[in-house]
Amino acid sequence: MRALRAHHRGGPEQLVLEDAEIPVPGPGEVLVAVHAAAITLTELLWDLSWQTRDGADRTPVIPSHEVSGVVGGLGTGVDSLAAGDEVYGLVDFDRNGAAAEFVTVPASALAAKPAKATHVEAAALPLAALTAWQALVDHAGIRPGERVLVHGGAGGVGVYGVQLAAHLGAHVIATDLPANESFVRSLGAAEFLDFTTQRFDDELSGLDVILDAVGGETLARSYGVLRPRGRLVTLAAPPDQTQAQKHAVHAMFFVVRPDHGELAQIAALVDDGSLRPVVAGVFPLAEGRAAFESIHGPRRPGKTILVVRP
Ligand SMILES: NC(=O)c1ccc[n+]([C@@H]2O[C@H](COP(=O)([O-])OP(=O)(O)OC[C@H]3O[C@@H](n4cnc5c(N)ncnc54)[C@H](OP(=O)(O)O)[C@@H]3O)[C@@H](O)[C@H]2O)c1
């Protein structure tokens, strides 16, 4: 098969399009014929993109860990899917990704592709929409009527955080660059703050929930704008529990995990029009290196997608 691979740790300059063995699905795994795969612009910087969880070298590696495609084969013990099924899902970062004609994925990390989404649109969902879902539903447990602040509402996770919080009945306030205001409002934000000119901690107080996709100083200023027992879910690094205790709030960090049931619920929301996939740019597999290099160019909201089978 054709695959985008890196033989040595580094940046996009290490990526080469070459022939590789078609992987064989192990027990509980599915061989997926890849139609589209989403890259995460920073994934080549992460240790897990190059190593096993035990720290062993995995090179040569294949990047791009969100996939939409068609089932091409089944490992032993998989009876929930059949050859020809259209599926989408999240490939763990400590195994080969989907920038190739085929990828093997545990069946538990796949679900039926949203019927109303193209493969390109479906590939834009798994990592970011699962992260937003797990943050808002599993960790924050948001309820209708709550006031929810999404930091970075036009970002990879933010676009789904805004949509999901609004769908779940929250009053959504989002921050981002002013150029993104009308887009973020179109996703369901009732209020918008331009983080370049407005300090959210001067303008907001008593919030129920914050989804923080920014971290750093933005996180540091967030504890004090929640109500007592408000919930803060942050994504970049663990929060400061001393600050959380000082303000009597719950502050949480987690790492997203593949989840069949949640992917199925996300697909249902796409099919009923409640959740819109957001695609920033599309590159053919052969231009995978350029796709990763697009991190340096002008940013558009959403995911960057590699098309493997047009
Ligand atoms: N824990 C997990 O499981 C998990 C899962 C997914 C992602 N993450 C992490 O979550 C973070 C966000 O990921 P992402 O893919 O959503 O990143 P992203 O696409 O870069 O989104 C961040 C957004 O925040 C905006 N922004 C930058 N500074 C801001 C500020 N001071 N106030 C408000 N908005 C600001 C950015 O605008 P610009 O584009 O102009 O910079 C961008 O729209 C990253 O650190 C990522 O590693 C963690």
Please check the confidence at residue 296 and state whether its pLDDT lies above 90. no
The pLDDT score that the predictor gives to residue 254 is 98
The pLDDT score that the predictor gives to residue 41 is 83
DSSP string over 13-55: GGEEEEE-PPP---TTEEEEEEEEEEE-TTGGGSGGGTB-TT-
Going by pLDDT thresholds of 50, 70 and 90, the confidence category of residue 127 is very high
| Ligand 1 atom at minimal distance to the Cα of residue 176 | 34
Whether the CB of 152 sits within 6 Å of ligand 1: yes
What's the 301 CA to ligand 1 centre distance in angstroms? Answer: 11
Whether the CB of 131 sits within 6 Å of ligand 1: yes
Please check the confidence at residue 297 and state whether its pLDDT lies above 90. no
Going by pLDDT thresholds of 50, 70 and 90, the confidence category of residue 160 is very high
pLDDT digits (tens, 9 = 90+) for 173-232: 999 999 999 999 999 999 999 999 999 999 999 999 999 999 999 999 999 999 999 999
Whether the CB of 211 sits within 6 Å of ligand 1: no
The pLDDT score that the predictor gives to residue 205 is 98
- Ligand 1, atom 26: closest residue by C-alpha: 152
For residues 54-69, average pLDDT: 97
Please check the confidence at residue 36 and state whether its pLDDT lies above 90. yes
Tokens 């240790």 locate to 47
For residues 259-276, average pLDDT: 98
3-state secondary structure of 303: strand
pLDDT digits (tens, 9 = 90+) for 10-20: 999 999 999 99
Please tell me the distance from the alpha carbon of residue 42 to that of residue 35, in angstroms, as a whole number: 22
Whether the CB of 214 sits within 6 Å of ligand 1: yes
For residues 130-155, average pLDDT: 97
Please tell me the distance from the alpha carbon of residue 34 to that of residue 215, in angstroms, as a whole number: 33
Name the amino acid, one letter, at 185: R
Please check the confidence at residue 299 and state whether its pLDDT lies above 90. no
Going by pLDDT thresholds of 50, 70 and 90, the confidence category of residue 257 is very high
Going by pLDDT thresholds of 50, 70 and 90, the confidence category of residue 298 is confident
Going by pLDDT thresholds of 50, 70 and 90, the confidence category of residue 300 is confident
Please tell me the distance from the alpha carbon of residue 235 to that of residue 279, in angstroms, as a whole number: 21
pLDDT digits (tens, 9 = 90+) for 229-243: 999 999 999 999 999
Does the N-terminal peptide bond of residue 144 adopt cis geometry, omega within 30 degrees of 0?
Answer: no
- Ligand 1, atom 12: closest residue by C-alpha: 213
The pLDDT score that the predictor gives to residue 295 is 79
Contact 296, 304 (CB under 8 A): no
For residues 59-87, average pLDDT: 97
For residues 107-129, average pLDDT: 98
- Rg over alpha carbons for the chain, rounded to the nearest Å, is 19
Main-chain dihedrals φ then ψ at residue 17, nearest 5 degrees: -90, 125
Going by pLDDT thresholds of 50, 70 and 90, the confidence category of residue 266 is very high
Q: Calculate what percentage of the chain has a pLDDT beyond 90.
A: 97
For residue 116, give both structure tokens.
């109303």
